[in-house]
Amino acid sequence: MRYLPISDADRQRMLAKIGVASVDDLFNHIPAAVRLKKPLDLPHHQGEMEVERHMTALAAKNIGATKASMFLGAGAYNHHIPAAVDHLIQRGEFLTSYTPYQPELAQGTLQYLFEFQTQVAMITGMEVANASMYDGSTAAAEAVMMANRITKRQEVIVSSLVHPHYLAVIETHARFGGFKVASEPMVIGREEKLTKMIHDQISCVVVQTPDFFGNLHDFTELAKACQAKGALLIVIVTEIISLGLLKSPGEMGADIVVAEGQSLGNALSFGGPYVGLFATREKYIRQMPGRLAGQTTDADGKRGWVLTLSTREQHIRREKATSNICTNSGLCALAFTIHLSLLGEVGFRRLAETNHARASLLASEIGKIRGVSIINKTFFNEFTVVLPKSAKITVDRLASYGIMGGIPMTRFYGRQLELSHVLLICATEMNTENEIESFAKVLRKVLND
């Protein structure tokens, strides 16, 4: 078998050295009742061609962004990834390397993580960032638990405008971790009064901008209200391209910023693997979960990097660890940092501007359709519309025209009647002006039929 280099002749030599007659003998100490005598009755090995045929057939049953016009967001965004990114992350020294526990053999990984940490701190406007988490939603849950540790309080407020999956993850941790989540049910179009909910047993307030419906927020006043009560402000950003254009959460006074980094360098890939960003104030670094790359010098006085502050982590603190996390999102973080390095100051700004311009065009075109109204007063590249018909049925019909035309709100909030006509739509630099005009035309047709 092509991945297994040990031949029968090798095996004989090795068994002689070990002093047993067969490989099976090395398994004899396992109780016979639970030891299989031969391979399971499942398909046998296959060559590359057969496996490729199998997987290609499965791929052919899906309609992806290569074939369809993609106008979907809700925390995962269709962006262009420069060709150089994939070439670089496929270098074996990146793809097949390990966590940099032996720093002398991993200065490549450690340097890019240090650069990644710097970039994340810069774009979020915060003092320090870690070397990534699994994704934005688990980063948000970790941020809440960190706030609980710092404030020694056990009650958290989560805005109803936060991505419903992120809220659900926080609620799961609350249920098993023994803290309480105060969250009002989402009511479309209602303005939240979070400041009123903060009391001196609240550890943190969790908000998002752009929010799940695409609205933009300035949390400066909320940050002050939190500070006055000794609570931390946690800001979630699910579309980090927005940071190329907008006031940063750090400037608003956030204590912790968590974000989904997928928009840079990482394909949609049906929801994973993605990369969580985590940034906070310098005074909290010892409470921060996840890995950290730190600068130092070697025995010759040369600059280099190591994983540092590891004593927070599970392999040392065990049950007293700040988190049980072991892996970060290595290769996804690398893709992110390469993409952002290619963009640079000018490119990041232009990319963000292009996103807003395309979304503005889409909003303008769709807004002209009779019976369609856009809820948002502000948005970056994503906004919410109310249709004159069922959003789900509309989306299914658009799919038959090769258009992924939005996500029905009922997918997230159940069969609430007032949401059945509500649709979340996104446009990015990947949507050309022609595509946008086509979409509007087809949508008008579908709604009028």
Partner 1 sequence: MTNITKKTSPTISGNQGLKLEEQLIFEQDNPGISGVDFPAVDLSKNHLGGLLSNRRIGLPGLSEPQIMRHYTRLSQKNYAIDAGIFPLGSCTMKHNPRLNEKMARLPGLGDIHPFQPFETIQGALTVIYQLADWLRQLTGMAAVAMPPAAGAHGELCGMMAIRAALDHRGEKRLRVLVPESAHGTNPATAAACGFQVDPIPANAKGTIDLAAFRAKLGPDVAAIMITNPNTCGLFETEIVQIAKDIHKIGGYLYCDGANFNAIVGRVRPGDLGIDCMHINLHKTFSTPHGGGGPGSGPVVLAQSLASFAPVPYIELRAGQYQLVENAKGTNSLGRLKAFHGQMGMFIRALTYILSHGADGLWQVSGDAVLNANYIRACLEKTMSPAFSGTCMHEALFSDNFLADTGVTTLDFAKALIDEGFHPMTVYFPLVVHGAMLVEPTETESLASLDQFIASMEGLAQIAKKQESLDSFKNAPIFTPRRRLDETTAARNPILKWSDQQKTAKSDAT
Partner 2 sequence: MSKTTYFTSEHEWIVVEKDIGIVGITDYAQKQLGDVVFVELPALGKKVIKGKDMAVVESVKAASEVYAPVSGEVLAVNQDLVNQPATVNEDATGKGWFVRLRLSNPKELVGLMDLKTYQNFVKGLS
Q: How far is the CB of 229 from partner 1 (least distance, A)?
A: 25
For residue 290, which of 61, 131, 122, 108 has the smallest C-alpha distance? 131
Question: Which string of DSSP letters, residue by residue, matches 367-378?
Answer: HTSTT-EE--SS
**Interface with partner 2 in residues 103-142 (CB under 8 A):** none
Q: How far is the CB of 149 from partner 1 (least distance, A)?
A: 12
Q: At residue 278, what are phi and psi to the nearest 5 degrees?
A: -145, 120
Helix ranges restricted to H, 324-409: 330-367, 391-399
Cα–Cα distance between 318 and 225 in angstroms, integer?
Answer: 36
Tokens of 211: 């929010």
For residue 352, which of 344, 159, 83, 138 has the smallest C-alpha distance? 344
User: Out of 175, 199, 317, 349, which residue is the one contacting partner 2 (CB under 8 A)?
Assistant: 317
Query: Judged by CB under 8 A, which stretch of 101-109, 172-180, 315-323, 364-372 contacts partner 2?
Result: 315-323
Q: Which does 414 bind (CB under 5 to 8 A by kind): partner 1, partner 2, none?
A: partner 1
Q: Which does 55 bind (CB under 5 to 8 A by kind): partner 2, partner 1, none?
A: partner 1
Tokens of 297: 């010098």
Cβ density class 125-144: b for 16+ within 10 Å, e for less: bbebbbbbbbbbbbbbbbbb
Q: Say which residues have a Cβ less than 8 Å from residue 326's Cβ, sequence separation at least 6.
A: 314, 315
Residue 16 interacting with partner 2 (CB under 8 A): no
Residue 316 interacting with partner 2 (CB under 8 A): yes
Q: How far is the CB of 105 from partner 1 (least distance, A)?
A: 4
Q: Which does 275 bind (CB under 5 to 8 A by kind): partner 2, partner 1, none?
A: partner 1
Query: Judged by CB under 8 A, which stretch of 35-43, 249-257, 312-320, 383-391 contacts partner 2?
Result: 312-320
Q: How far is the CB of 242 from partner 1 (least distance, A)?
A: 9
Q: Is 430 exposed, middle or buried (0-12, 13-18, 19+ CB in 10 A)?
A: middle
Residue 2 interacting with partner 2 (CB under 8 A): no
Q: How far is the CB of 308 from partner 2 (least distance, A)?
A: 8
Q: Which does 12 bind (CB under 5 to 8 A by kind): partner 1, partner 2, none?
A: none
Cβ density class 416-427: b for 16+ within 10 Å, e for less: eeebbbbbbbbb
Angle, nearest 10°, between helix axes 330-367 and 107-124?
A: 30
For residue 446, which of 400, 398, 380, 405 has the smallest C-alpha distance? 398
User: Cα dihedral angle (427, 335, 206, 152), rounded to 10 degrees?
Assistant: 180
User: Out of 46, 311, 364, 373, which residue is the one contacting partner 2 (CB under 8 A)?
Assistant: 311
Residue nearer to partner 2 on the CB measure, 195 or 308: 308
Gyration radius of the chain's alpha carbons? 25
Residue 320 interacting with partner 2 (CB under 8 A): yes
Q: How far is the CB of 307 from partner 2 (least distance, A)?
A: 10
Q: Which does 197 bind (CB under 5 to 8 A by kind): partner 2, partner 1, none?
A: none
Query: Judged by CB under 8 A, which stretch of 125-133, 200-208, 228-236, 308-316 contacts partner 2?
Result: 308-316
Cα 362 to Cα 247, 332, 354: the distances in Å are 23, 30, 12
**Interface with partner 2 in residues 278-297 (CB under 8 A):** 286
Q: Which does 434 bind (CB under 5 to 8 A by kind): partner 1, partner 2, none?
A: none
**Collapsing DSSP states into helix, strand and coil, what is residue 58?**
helix
Q: Which does 314 bind (CB under 5 to 8 A by kind): partner 1, partner 2, none?
A: partner 1
Query: Judged by CB under 8 A, which stretch of 84-92, 244-252, 311-319, 328-336 contacts partner 2?
Result: 311-319
Residue 326 interacting with partner 2 (CB under 8 A): no
Cα–Cα distance between 29 and 31 in angstroms, integer?
Answer: 6
Residue nearer to partner 1 on the CB measure, 157 or 391: 391
Total residues interacting with partner 2, rule: CB under 8 A: 6
Residues that bind partner 2 (CB under 8 A): 286, 310-311, 316-317, 320
